[in-house]
Structure 1
Amino acid sequence: MLSRRGFFQSSGAVALGSAATIPSLPDKANFRVQEFQTCLNAGRWHPLSNGARAAADLYQEYKQRGIWDRDGLRSGTNPNAHGGSQVEAKQLFAQLVNASPEEIAFVQSTTAAENLVVQSLGLPSSGANIVTDGLHFEGSLYLYDALRKQGMDVRIVKPRNWRIEMRELEQAINKQTRLVAVSLVSYINGFQHDLKRICDIAHANGALVYADIVQAAGAMPLDVKASGVDFCATASYKWLMGDFGLGFLYARKDVLGERLKRTVYSYRQLRGFSNHMFPYDSPDPAPVTWQQDNSAAGYFEQGTLASAVSETLAYSLKYIQTLGVENIHKHSQSLIAHLRQEVPKLGHQLITPRGSTGPLIAFQLENPELIAKKLKQAKVDVAITDHRMRVSPSVYNDQEDIERLLRALA
């Protein structure tokens, strides 16, 4: 049986509360992935840390025992984890992106969040248009092209030289634009938008901006207030170091209630609910009465959450803040800089534009099958798709991991 003391000992969670024992980078001690492979593919899904695994184990141990002792939530005798870390996880994520917890809603995934935003804006709508670009996520482009087939005016700005030109994006936006939707850091090649500039242009035309931040949140500094973005979303299984099935949607407070309509309904959106149909109920002409929450959760949250994932996420968000996002970013950029310099010497064209500072770098491949075979033999994990190789190192990687990739490529 895993006790709370055992959890702290096995996960290194005590270190998160002690400045004297803050882990240094690279932090190989808190990750087992290097026992099995050289993982340079955290942009696909991030390996679970020992601490996050211990948090999930603690929840599973609680789940086996039942929940009779509801008064001892997370006490030494009853680490009741059912929803125990959800509030904390939301607060930690809000701090990470400089938002208030009332502007954050739990969602199933980044894709679910983007769909909710589109629906809440009443799209598709005649006389309006949506602007996006060709470096946005493929699931998002499917969404918007499906809306186009329903009659929506959808404008997709195509990439040139592996980047989206701001002047072309600006030309596509006009007074009829309802939504501008982009990926802050493109999953394809790491191209990074000037999000504040996009928001300034969109807002000047009366449009709102949604940003997919799944390849940015947790890996680089983000400030939703400074950017002016109206909505952004991420999943927890990438750079937030959680697991599948849970993510966050940020909705700017000024937008909530002003231009949105509720398109989904759930008990998680309520501040209060009363029955008036049964013995001892308070009398009322209506069978039920309720009060809605006007926060982001009150507009977008639906049903139960993945509790084990929220436990891993709460641990990982504390871990990220303990390391410091700036330090995480600096560490990954030092590894990426070496790749930027050395991989083109091996005959693979760099396709990540200069000035992009996201946590991944990409190269064009003439023979992806051969490269994939070489890397598999060397047990080096990167993403290879459609003649492109994407490398995304994280906190557990060091320069020797980069050299191992370069030797395999050579």
Structure 2
Amino acid sequence: MMHAATHEALRAEFPVLASSVYLNNNSMGATPRGVKAVLDRHYHLLETWRDEAYEQLWADWHLYADELARFLGAPPGSVVTDSNLSTLLGRLCTCFDYRGERRRLVTTDREFPAVPFVLRGFARYGAELVVVPSDGARVDEERLCAAIDERTLLVCVSHAGFATGALLDLAPVVRRARAVGALVAVDAYQSVGVVPVDVGALGVDFLLGGAHKWLCGSLESGFLYVRPELLPSLRPAATGWIAGEDPFRFEPATAWAKGARRLASGTPAVLPSQISRVGLALLAEVGMEAIRARSLELTARVIARADEAGVVVVTPREAARRGGVVVLSFPGDAEVARRLTARGFVCSYRGALRVGPHVYNTLEEVDRFMDALLEERRRASW
């Protein structure tokens, strides 16, 4: 666990904590104060623009991708960033041929809406979408594995559910996919930064996520990890000049880049990468073991307080089955979420009230939040 002085120093890096009880990190992570210096430097760069600046921007973009790779337990050159997860997932799906027997895309009914929307679009090219129904708050791994067969090209599932906070046990899914020759893509947007993720240990082929939630980064920064052995076989159709082997020759590309950059598009979004490096560095310094321990402590307190008050907890209770958010449901919860946020007890609502504490939050903040929630719940029931 973190020393108290170290924790206070970490809290000081996030100004929003001084003005609110901020438990909305599953929706938008708190922004570190170091981001202001990044924005000031970028404005000065634009104000005094010279084309030589491209060299540093290009280096910074690659540096962030490799820092992300290290955070994920992946080698340099295996991560690429772009504006969002949907863009990267769509580009990844253009790498495959859907005209043969192996053309099924297997997913679940618990995915963030972007995922089935993107996958369904490839039906026009011959893909067959298979949606596995969930079992209450969580996906049943046995049912999911049963849907993966020799006709499956890609399994695309969330590590942590956005609506319930439930964690999927990826190990049996990866084993089943390997056994039948299918690939596995994991949406880790709701887990990276609050749940330890080691892509090598997980054995996944692709992992997608973004910076603006638990990684406390920019809204415009999605990322994609590709298992290095697969890179030579991936030839995206939806691409751009930065994906070429040597883009700065400014000639027609004849080959893709050797690393994950082959899944880039056009001119990269460099400012989001620079912004996102600030939060990533802070979390990397704390370490995922400490982050996970603090998260489980805080979410356990939310669950205990909810149980005491008779509030329905949608999120699985077992530590190994929950990510970083606790989802609560009760009559009037949408109005309560709105009232809480107006009072400075910041949470979110997606069909139920979501509470997402992070490593910089405290048990005292959780208790104050739950006190306010129960007070507003009583008002909503009048």
The normalised TM-score by structure 1 is 0.83
Moved more, 305-314 or 160-169: 305-314
Question: Does the 8 A contact of 1:26 with 1:397 survive in 2?
Answer: no
SS in structure 2 of the partner of residue 233 of structure 1: strand
Match of 2:245 among 251, 271, 277: 271
The separation in 2 between residues aligned to 1:45 and 1:251, in whole angstroms, is 25
Q: CA deviation at 1:118?
A: 1.7
**Residues 34-56 of structure 1: CA distance to partner in whole angstroms, max 9, x if unpaired?**
24322111111112110122222
Is 2:284 aligned against 1:321?
yes
1:27 lines up with 2:10 in the alignment: yes
Deviation at 1:148, TM superposition (A): 5.3
The reply on whether 1:378 has 2:378 as its aligned counterpart is no
Query: Which of the two has higher C-alpha Rg?
Result: 1
CA RMSD for the aligned pairs? 2.7
The yes-or-no answer on 1:139 pairing with 2:114 is yes
2:378 counterpart residue number? none
What 5-or-longer segments of structure 1 have no aligned partner?
1-19, 74-79, 277-286
* Distance change (3 Å), C-alpha of 1:87 and 1:249: same
What SS is found at the alignment partner of 1:243? Answer: coil
| Number of residue pairs the alignment of both structures matches | 370
Q: Confirm whether residue 165 of structure 1 aligns to residue 140 of structure 2.
A: yes
Cα pair distance change 1:192/1:322, threshold 3 Å:
same
Q: Distance in 2 between matches of 1:182 and 1:230?
A: 12
Secondary structure of the corresponding residue to residue 98 of structure 1: coil
Which of residues 38, 44, 50 in structure 1 aligns to 2:33? 50
In the TM superposition, what whole-angstrom CA distance separates every residue of 1:145-197 from its partner, at most 9, and x where no partner exists? 44458764322111113111111111111110111110001111111111122
Identify the residue that residue 61 of structure 1 maps to in structure 2. 44
- Give the equivalent residue in structure 1 for 2:377: none
Shift of 1:377: 4.8
SS at match of 2:245: strand
Q: Structure 2: give runs of 5+ residues left out of the alignment.
A: 375-382
Which amino acid in structure 1 is aligned with residue 181 of structure 2? Answer: G
1:119 maps to what in 2?
94
- The separation in 1 between residues aligned to 2:147 and 2:288, in whole angstroms, is 34
SS in 2 for 1:67: coil
Q: CA deviation at 1:126?
A: 6.2
SS in structure 2 of the partner of residue 394 of structure 1: coil
Structure 2 counterpart of 1:41, from 24, 37, 49: 24
The structure-2 alpha-carbon separation of the partners of 1:344 and 1:291, relative to structure 1 and needing over 3 Å to count, comes to same
- Picking from 356, 366, 372, the partner of 1:408 is 372
Amino acid corresponding to residue 283 of structure 2 in structure 1 = I
Match of 1:98 among 73, 94, 107: 73
Question: AA paired with 1:216?
Answer: S
Return closer, same or farther for 1:120/1:29 CA change in 2, 3 Å cut-off: same
**1:322 Cα deviation after fit:** 1.1
SS in 2 for 1:405: helix
Following the alignment from structure 1 to structure 2, what is the Cα–Cα distance between the partners of residues 247 and 376? 27
- 5 Å-filtered alignment, 1:253-402, equals 253-258=228-233, 260-272=234-246, 290-298=254-262, 300-353=263-316, 354=318, 355-386=320-351, 388-402=352-366
**Is contact 2:103–2:151 with CA below 8 Å preserved after alignment?**
yes
Cα distance in 2 for residues equivalent to 1:40 and 1:274: 44
Displacement after TM superposition at 1:288 (Å): 5.7
- On the 8 A contact 1:109/1:247 being kept in 2, the answer is yes
Match of 1:109 among 67, 84, 92: 84
Q: Is the 8 A contact 1:81 1:311 kept in 2?
A: no
Of 194-203 and 178-187, more deviation after overlay is shown by 194-203
| Letter aligned with residue 392 of structure 1 | G
Deviates more, 1:111-120 or 1:365-374: 365-374
Higher helix share: 2
Equivalents in 1 of 2:247, 2:268: separation in Å?
20
Which residue identity is paired with 1:400?
E
User: 1:226 and 2:191 equivalent?
Assistant: no
Q: Distance in 1 between matches of 2:91 and 2:252?
A: 27
Percent identity, aligned pairs only, is: 23
CA contact (8 A) 1:25 1:331 kept: no
How far off its partner does 1:125 sit?
A: 6.2
Residue pair 1:124, 1:147 contacting (<8 A) in 2 also: no
Letter matched to residue 113 of structure 1: L
1:191 to 1:25, Cα distance in 2 relative to 1, 3 A: farther
Q: Cα–Cα, structure 1 residues 25 and 231, in superposed 2: closer, same or farther, change >3 Å?
A: farther
For 1:245, which of 210, 220, 241 is the aligned residue?
220
The residue matched to 2:354 in structure 1 has which SS? strand
